[in-house]
Amino acid sequence: IEFSTEDGSRTDFEFLCRIIEATILAGASVINVPDTVGYALPEEFGQLIHRIRETVPSIDRAILSVHCHNDLGLAVANSIAAIRNGADQVECTINGIGERAGNASLEEIVMVLRTRFANYQATTAINPGEIYRTSRMVSRIMNIPVQPNKAIVGSNAFSHSAGIHQDGVLKDRTTYEIMRPEDLGIKQHTIVLTARSGRAALKHRLGELGFSLDPEVFERVYNRFIDVADRKKEIATQDLQSIVEIEVSKAPETYKMHSLQIMSGTKMVPLASVTLERDGQLHTDAATGNGPVDAVFNGIERITGVSGKLRDYDLKAVTMGRDALGEAMVRVQIGDTIYSGIGTSPDVIEASARAYLNAYNRYFANGGAEMIKS
């Protein structure tokens, strides 16, 4: 039984201690002290946990937990201060996701304790080698991109741009890297897959990356891999991870992308011809829009017969170079519900179309298909 003292960091201390003691005597096995609005400073929050340890008579009969919010950017610092002062448990989230400015970041807390073990003498049962993949999986499922400069799991976390830093890393990685990318499950590979790589090579690489796929999912991944590799000279590790993670988490496909044709220019209204497959039948329609992406979205809506409102759209390159795989994320409101979608392609318009269709397929998978049957 966990009892949480809402807004504990701003509660009168004597009252807080009386409540904690009473709930422990009533059977609570976990006492959670949250910094609900992220107002506390590390020295204040650490001292609060220390005083609770010193004051509450029965505190050793329960697990003392903390739950810190990040409104002032101090959730991790407050959590670490709590650990130093006797907290047994920290409530945190992958990528620091949570309401408002988020919660304490799990990966940051884990790696602080691991990297500075001598200072805290605290361990967790979390396998750091799964942190990076888990971060990416959560980001995709929730359609919340990870900022590039995010500590531990951001795409720039192990990038060095200053010349003196680059020189130092080349001579001795420990000069400027306090953690190894490999410790977080970030694989460093020199072999690059191409369209000529067969199923065996792909399966071997997936195994190196920690993916174990059932035959049906592997075939989907292989087919998508070939589709992308035919248009992109080389498939980097990041490309492959993106393909796999999308195929693994893909919603049942009421509609499948068949083909796109775009006409666009500075002196013309963009026009998109979209062909989707449903139950083995091809459905084609055309639409205009404010731009080629908008035209494609309108074409998808015309074919499905369902109108949505685009609430969020994010596009990024998975790797560097002109032929980089583009990754699009969308959030589409249909009725009162928002559905997320993600898509990849060397063609950013196609990536956007796949993301939009992915969101629509989630809508249909949640019962929306009944609307198009009537």
pLDDT digits (tens, 9 = 90+) for 58-85: 999 999 999 999 999 999 999 999 999 9
Q: Which fold has domain 256-373?
A: Double Stranded RNA Binding Domain (3.30.160)
pLDDT of residue 241: 81
DSSP state, 73?
S
Residue-wise pLDDT for 232-290, tens only, equals: 777 777 788 888 878 887 778 899 999 999 999 999 999 999 999 999 999 999 999 99
pLDDT of residue 44: 97
Average pLDDT over residues 21-42: 97
41 burial (CB, 10 Å; 0-12 / 13-18 / 19+) is middle
Residue 370's pLDDT band (boundaries 50, 70, 90)? very low
pLDDT band, residue 374 (cuts 50/70/90):
very low
Q: Which of 316, 337, 365 is nearest to 140 (CA)?
A: 316
Please report the pLDDT score of residue 198 as a whole number: 80
pLDDT at 37: 96
Stretch (H or E) spanning 269? strand 268-278
Q: Which amino acid is at 215?
A: P
Q: What is the pLDDT of residues 165-178, one digit of tens each?
A: 444 444 555 555 67
Rounded Cα gap, residues 71 and 73, in angstroms: 6
Give whole-number Cα distances, 374 to 98, 305, 368, 371, in Å.
39, 11, 11, 6
Write down the domain spans for the chain.
2-142, 199-248, 256-373
The more confidently predicted of residues 18 and 159 is 18
| Three-state SS at 90 | strand
pLDDT at 174: 57
H or E stretch covering 315: strand 309-317
Q: What is the mean pLDDT of residues 162-189?
A: 60
CA 334/CA 338 separation, integer angstroms: 6
2-142 and 256-373 share one fold: no
CATH superfamily of 2-142: Aldolase class I (3.20.20.70)
Spatial distance between the Cα atoms of 178 and 45, rounded to a whole number of angstroms:
27
Under the banding of pLDDT at 50, 70 and 90, the label for residue 191 is low
Answer yes or no: is pLDDT of 106 > 60: yes
3-state secondary structure of 135: helix
Distance between CA 230 and CA 217 in Å, rounded? Answer: 20
CA gap 361, 255 in Å, rounded: 7
| Backbone phi, psi, residue 54, to 5° | -80, -25
Per-residue model confidence as pLDDT tens digits over 332-351: 999 999 998 989 898 999 99
The DSSP 8-state label assigned to residue 9 in this structure reads: G
Alpha-carbon distance of 166 to 153, in angstroms, equals 20
- For the chain, helix, strand, coil in percent to 5 are 45, 20, 35
- Percent of the chain at pLDDT > 90 equals 60
* Torsion angles phi and psi, residue 80, rounded to 5: -65, -40
